[in-house]
Amino acid sequence: MSRSERSPLLLAGLLAGMGVAHLAVPRPFDAMVPRTLPGSPRAWTHASGVAELVLAAGVALPRTRKAAALATAALFVGVFPANVKMAWDWRHRRTPLKAAAVARLPFQVPLVLWARNVADNAGQAKITEGRS
């Protein structure tokens, strides 16, 4: 299996793992939900977990990969404020925890780029298949 074939499956695995984590152990995620959002933090945690599972399935399937990968990129952008909130909330914690929370912030960029790359490659695969 080539790297371009593995990449969407790895992204789907990451999404599925995070989706399961949001549903199985929601409490840490609840704390990250910005207070400005309406409704309960638990509802947002569960909704994001379900969204991640749906996107994981979409990215895993070649037929829906491009749209799901683009939606995944949007999700990664959309959850950035929660990561900023976490970094802010953890500013008084022990140094390793504070460092971990701050270090998460720049990792959103490669996640967005990864999802966009999966979407771009899904489009290329369809073009190549159409020429066969």
Say whether 63 sits in a helix, a strand or coil. coil
Residue 117 half-sphere exposure toward CB, CA atoms < 13 A: 15
Sign of torsion, CA 38 42 45 46?
Answer: negative
Report yes or no: 90 and 101 within 8 Å, Cβ to Cβ: yes
Query: If you ran DSSP here, which 8-state letter would residue 39 be given?
Result: S
Give me the average pLDDT of each 10-residue run along the chain (132 residues): 84 98 95 92 96 98 97 96 92 92 92 97 64 47
What is the pLDDT at residue 132?
46
Its pTM stands at 0.86
pLDDT computed for residue 54 by the predictor: 98
